[in-house]
């Protein structure tokens, strides 16, 4: 996960990443940016977050001094990311506390209670400035809020898959998981549908589509038969041969 970036006005820059499963969890890269895509290279790998942060600043300052570029001010991420502790009360050691992504707010519940709009119960909620990794959520048994930006984007993509399937199969309105929003020309998931329900249904649609494509592929004749058929068709559509010239009689020479 990219934790911090420094971008210059020549579309080059440096980034600091973290991977808790790697032997050296922290890395700084140089990158080039083109059409919104970044190409990362020349990584420096480290074990301590403060060393990685110093390395990031040193590399950026050295590059700026060499090439006389200016740092581009990047808009801060105003989104926050909410996660629920579903298995235990929130206490020391029960939630991720990364050097680069510490909690910014906590709500502690007196008892384990149902979360509004979600299909689970929780002991409390923790707010972060940046999204947690899948590994962090699994290790601490945290569940993301459906209102998190990354979850909203995921649900939006799944809604397009499910909505098209529901249209194709003429699913009645009362049984649909989505509805079509004409102002944006896209499908929107119904409010009472949980992320888990939508994800499960989207996976089912994808499996059905994969099975249908596999079945269609099996109906195709073998390649050898396709080649023979193509050759036969070519022969049938070939122009007729011209009349053969009569060979001269030897006595006429």
Each residue's pLDDT tens digit, 165-215: 999 999 999 999 998 988 778 898 988 888 888 999 999 999 988 888 877
Asked if 1 and 17 touch (Cβ cutoff 8 Å), the reply is yes
Using the predicted structure, report yes or no on whether residue 58 has a pLDDT greater than 70: yes
Residue 238 CA to residue 78 CA, distance in Å, equals 68
The tokens for 16 are: 């600091």
CA gap 158, 146 in Å, rounded: 13
In residues, how long is the chain? Answer: 253
Could you report the per-residue pLDDT of 120-130, keeping only the tens digit for each?
999 999 999 88
- pTM here is 0.62
Q: What are phi and psi of 34, to 5 degrees?
A: -145, 125
Query: CA-to-CA distance for 18 and 131, rounded, in angstroms?
Result: 13
Q: How far is CA 76 from the centre of its chain?
A: 22
Share of the chain above pLDDT 90, in %: 51
Beta-bridge partners for 251: none
Q: How many CB atoms lie within 10 A of CB 175?
A: 7
Through-space distance between the first and last CA atoms of the chain, rounded to whole angstroms? 90
Q: Which residue has the higher pLDDT, 96 or 241?
A: 96
pLDDT for residue 250 = 60
Which has the minimum average pLDDT: 6-20, 113-127, 147-161, 206-220? 206-220
C-alpha to C-alpha distance for 58 and 49, rounded to whole angstroms? 14
Buried b (16+ CB within 10 A) or exposed e, 9-24: eeebbbbbbbeeeeee
């Amino acid at each position: 996960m990219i934790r911090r970036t420094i971008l210059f006005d020549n579309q080059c820059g440096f980034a600091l990443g973290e991977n808790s499963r790697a032997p050296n969890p922290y890395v700084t890269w140089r990158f080039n940016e083109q059409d919104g895509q970044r190409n990362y290279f020349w990584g420096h790998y480290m074990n301590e977050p403060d060393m990685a942060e110093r390395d990031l600043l040193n590399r950026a300052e050295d590059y700026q001094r060499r090439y006389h570029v200016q740092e581009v001010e990047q808009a801060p991420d105003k989104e926050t990311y909410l996660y629920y502790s579903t298995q235990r009360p929130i206490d020391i050691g029960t939630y991720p506390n990364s050097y680069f992504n510490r909690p910014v707010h906590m709500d502690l519940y007196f008892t384990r209670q149902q979360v509004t709009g979600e299909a689970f119960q929780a002991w409390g909620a923790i707010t972060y400035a940046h999204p947690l990794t899948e590994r962090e959520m699994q290790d601490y048994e945290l569940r993301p809020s459906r209102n998190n930006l990354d979850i909203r984007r995921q649900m939006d993509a799944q809604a397009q898959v499910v909505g098209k399937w529901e249209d194709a199969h003429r699913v009645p309105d009362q049984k649909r998981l989505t509805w079509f929003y004409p102002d944006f020309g896209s499908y929107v998931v119904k409010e009472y549908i949980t992320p888990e329900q939508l994800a499960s249904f989207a996976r089912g649609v994808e499996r059905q589509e994969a099975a249908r494509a596999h079945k269609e592929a099996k109906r195709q004749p073998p390649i050898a038969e396709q080649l023979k058929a193509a050759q036969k068709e070519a022969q049938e559509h070939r122009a007729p041969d011209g009349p053969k010239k009569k060979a001269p009689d030897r006595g006429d020479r």
